[in-house]
């Protein structure tokens, strides 16, 4: 089995992973969306990683979906709404038993991807690292964090896991990755939409704590209903801790809206509301929040799904 890391999506996180793996001498190939993007990438000669004031260029080979050759390991680094269609295009190249590492925030996109590639193994990731694109093919490592990876269907640690340590990518194998993803989703639902609706940084929510607390109560009940008691534990307290610790920051959803980008709401608040409906759980506050957010996105001319 080939040890090459194919990386689907050379955006913020994809580039951050690609550069660190390449720096550690691992075989890496980027998969770009079309010939035009590939030509633009080849014209600049590689990806640039910016860490504080230090910038390094990594001449990582690129290709499009249409290249030939099997893929044994694929890091999926697209946005949640792009992941399944992008992977579907690659399905014919995925070897039997190929491993996919899914970096998408929220929940729902992982199952959409898995449905496209029943012959592959899907490993879910939850990342607190932060990166953003300063320009095409140039990414700034903006926030040190951690990565948890796990496969809900198989607790065995993959043989390649040490590649991450070799590359300086802080990571731990998690046998309860779904609990981590649910917890992160709940934190996101309690904070991010309100920062858009109240047009504020995270600390601005200190003026709306009653609203935040009501959402936390519903989210905690929902987590219990769908078999995630650990993710429900002390949710309200952690949400308040996060609001205080990140008071000066703008949430990712706020930043997406500010820059006129599509949000990942379908896989965050939208997922929570869909799961609640499936379990017959009453979540009036979450539904009202979703409706207000949808109205606000539509009013700005942004996709609301």
- Which residues lie closer than 8 Å to 80 by C-beta, 6 or more apart? 104, 105, 106, 108, 109, 264, 266, 267
Burial 202-226 (b: 16+ CB within 10 A, else e): bebbeeeeebbebbbebbbebbebb
* Contact call for residue 117 and ligand NAP (CB under 6 A): no
Cβ nearer to ligand NAP, comparing 26 with 33 = 33
One of 23, 26, 33, 292 touching ligand NAP (CB under 6 A): 33
CB of 136 to ligand NAP, least distance (A): 7
Give residues 244-303 in contact with ligand NAP (rule: CB under 6 A): 264
CA dist 212 and 205 (Å) reads: 8
Residue 229 Cα distances to 106, 107, 181, 236, 281, angstroms: 18, 17, 13, 14, 15
Where residue 9 falls (left for φ over 0; alpha for ψ -120 to 50; beta otherwise) is left
x/- track of binding to ligand NAP for residues 53-92 (CB under 6 A): ------------------------xxxx-x---x------
Cβ nearer to ligand NAP, comparing 82 with 99 = 82
- Which residues lie closer than 8 Å to 191 by C-beta, 6 or more apart? 202, 205, 212, 239, 242, 243, 251
Say how many residues touch ligand NAP, by CB under 6 A.
26
* Contact call for residue 104 and ligand NAP (CB under 6 A): yes
CA dist 304 and 236 (Å) reads: 27
Residue 184 annotated as catalytic: yes
CA angle 13, 39, 33 (to 5 degrees): 50
CB of 76 to ligand NAP, least distance (A): 9
Cβ nearer to ligand NAP, comparing 124 with 243 = 124
* Contact call for residue 133 and ligand NAP (CB under 6 A): yes
Are the C-beta atoms of 121 and 159 separated by less than 8 Å?
Answer: no
Cβ nearer to ligand NAP, comparing 48 with 281 = 48
* Contact call for residue 37 and ligand NAP (CB under 6 A): yes
Which one of the listed residues 26, 79, 184, 298 is annotated catalytic?
Answer: 184
Residue with the CB atom nearest ligand NAP in the bound state = 11
One of 48, 105, 116, 192 touching ligand NAP (CB under 6 A): 105
CA dist 32 and 42 (Å) reads: 11
Cβ nearer to ligand NAP, comparing 8 with 191 = 8
CB of 224 to ligand NAP, least distance (A): 26
CA dist 167 and 20 (Å) reads: 5
Q: Name the token pair of 87.
A: 């992977």
One of 5, 6, 7, 12 touching ligand NAP (CB under 6 A): 12
CB of 137 to ligand NAP, least distance (A): 9
Residues of the shown chain interacting with ligand NAP in the complex, contacts defined by CB under 6 A: 8-14, 31-33, 37, 77-80, 82, 86, 103-105, 127, 129-131, 133, 264
């Amino acid at each position: 089995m080939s040890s090459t890391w194919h990386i689907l999506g050379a955006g913020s996180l994809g580039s951050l992973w690609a550069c660190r793996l390449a720096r550690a001498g691992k075989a890496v190939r980027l998969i770009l969306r079309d010939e035009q993007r590939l030509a633009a990438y080849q014209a600049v000669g590689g990806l640039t990683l910016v860490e504080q004031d230090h910038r390094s260029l990594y001449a990582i080979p690129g290709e499009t979906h249409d290249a030939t050759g099997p893929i044994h390991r694929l890091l999926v680094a697209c946005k949640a709404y792009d992941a399944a269609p992008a992977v579907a295009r690659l399905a014919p190249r995925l070897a039997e038993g190929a491993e996919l590492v899914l970096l998408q925030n929220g929940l729902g996109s992982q199952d959409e991807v898995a449905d496209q590639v029943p012959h592959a193994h899907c490993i879910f990731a939850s990342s607190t690292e932060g990166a953003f694109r300063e320009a095409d093919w140039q990414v700034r490592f903006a926030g040190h964090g951690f990565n948890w990876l796990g496969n809900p269907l198989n607790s065995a640690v993959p043989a390649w896991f040490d590649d991450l340590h070799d590359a300086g990518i802080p990571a731990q194998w998690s046998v309860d990755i779904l609990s981590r993803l649910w917890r992160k989703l709940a934190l996101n639902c309690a904070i991010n939409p309100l920062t858009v609706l109240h047009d504020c940084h995270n600390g601005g929510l200190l003026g709306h704590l009653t609203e935040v607390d009501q959402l936390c109560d519903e989210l905690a009940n929902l987590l219990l209903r769908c078999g995630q008691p650990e993710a429900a534990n002390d949710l309200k307290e952690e949400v308040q801790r996060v609001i205080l610790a990140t008071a000066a920051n703008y949430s990712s959803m706020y930043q997406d809206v500010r820059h006129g980008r599509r949000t990942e709401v379908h896989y965050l608040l939208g997922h929570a509301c869909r799961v609640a409906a499936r379990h017959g759980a009453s979540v009036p506050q979450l539904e009202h929040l979703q409706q207000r957010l949808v109205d606000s996105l539509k009013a700005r001319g942004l996709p609301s799904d």
